[in-house]
Amino acid sequence: MKQKRIYAFLIDLLVIAVPSTLLMVLSVFMLRQDFLPALYGSLALAALLLLLKDLPFGRSPGKYFLGLEISNGASALRRVWRNMTLIALPIEALAVLIYKKRLGDVLFKTDVVADETSSFNKFTELLAGVFIVLLLVFLQLRNLAGYYIRQRQEYMVAEAFIYGNQAIRQKTGEVVKLSKVPDFNFRKRNGQTELTIELKVYGQKENADLAINLIKKDGGQWVVNDYEIIEKE
């Protein structure tokens, strides 16, 4: 039972991550909010969903998949109150070791039991659902990482250089777009920071892989030092 409850909680976290991450993507890309305010809004939504995850029917998505439910005697309000203790996960873990139950269950006299009416044969369905959730979260986090990188000064300097460089445009034609998530390599020496940004340029004539080398002296601004068109074998 304890193992099932742990798995159910992990599934709940994955499910909660989807709308929370979507809200962050919407805030950053559509509403043009700064990264930190968007992050706080996403965390607030995640906390709210964590509180309400066992409403309605006394079972969260994770409990549903694993054939568990909160005992019938628990009112809707008690189902919410019991989840407030999740903000203190270390204390919850200690309570499980001592009482074999979550702290929320001890305080609000609730219990998680097996659903006797459940003909639990959902393992394939569960794996498919978890895979889809993980894929969505990965793609959304990747988009957020790309957006964060593109807001940095060093990236904007490299971007302006690419769009304005005649030699690059002769090879690729008119630049259509750049890859969303470039690779960054930092190195600091002799009082200055060196950065190499590797990205793909999508052009009207052909695409090209570039390595842009930038430098910044302490207290100075980023400037392009050199670049290289990477020829793929």
Q: Which of 121, 149, 177 is the last residue of a domain?
A: 149
Sign of the alpha-carbon dihedral angle for 176, 179, 180, 186: negative
| Co-location of 27 and 142 in the same domain | yes
- Three-state secondary structure call for residue 214: strand
Q: How many CA atoms within 13 Å lie on the side-chain side of 44?
A: 8
| Co-location of 33 and 105 in the same domain | yes
| Co-location of 115 and 134 in the same domain | yes
Range of the domain at 190: 152-230
Query: What percent of the chain clears pLDDT 70, i.e. is strictly above it?
Result: 87
- CA–CA dist 53, 47 (Å, integer): 10
| Co-location of 36 and 106 in the same domain | yes
| Co-location of 53 and 89 in the same domain | yes
Decide if pLDDT at 228 tops 80: yes
| Co-location of 116 and 186 in the same domain | no
Phi, psi (degrees; rounded to nearest 5) at 29: -85, -40
| Co-location of 117 and 132 in the same domain | yes
How many other C-beta atoms lie within 10 A of the C-beta of residue 181?
Answer: 15
Query: Which CATH number characterizes residue 196's domain?
Result: 3.10.450
Residues near 18 by Cβ (< 8 Å), separated by ≥ 6? 133, 136, 137
Greater model confidence, 180 or 160: 160
pTM confidence score:
0.56
| Co-location of 184 and 211 in the same domain | yes
Q: Strands 68-70 and 112-114, how do they pair?
A: antiparallel
Helix axis angle, 123-150 relative to 2-25, nearest 10°?
40
Number of folded domains in the chain? 2
| Co-location of 68 and 108 in the same domain | yes
| Co-location of 172 and 142 in the same domain | no
- Three-state secondary structure call for residue 100: coil
Average pLDDT over residues 48-75: 81
Q: Which of 125, 149, 173 is the last residue of a domain?
A: 149
Q: Tokens for 85, please give them.
A: 């203790």
Q: Which of 98, 128, 149 is the last residue of a domain?
A: 149
Give the least confident one: 21-35, 50-64, 122-136, 191-205. Answer: 122-136
Give the least confident one: 75-79, 122-126, 213-217. Answer: 122-126
| Co-location of 97 and 160 in the same domain | no
Cis peptide before 56 (omega within 30 of 0): yes
Distances (CA, A) of 7 to 19, 39, 44, 99: 20, 26, 23, 19
Residues 100-159: pLDDT tens digits?
A: 788 888 888 887 887 766 555 556 566 666 777 777 777 777 777 777 777 788 889 999
| Co-location of 8 and 109 in the same domain | yes
Distances (CA, A) of 75 to 53, 64, 79, 110: 14, 18, 6, 9
Greater model confidence, 112 or 216: 216
Residue with tokens 């971007």: 159
Average pLDDT over residues 2-6: 74
Decide if pLDDT at 31 tops 80: no
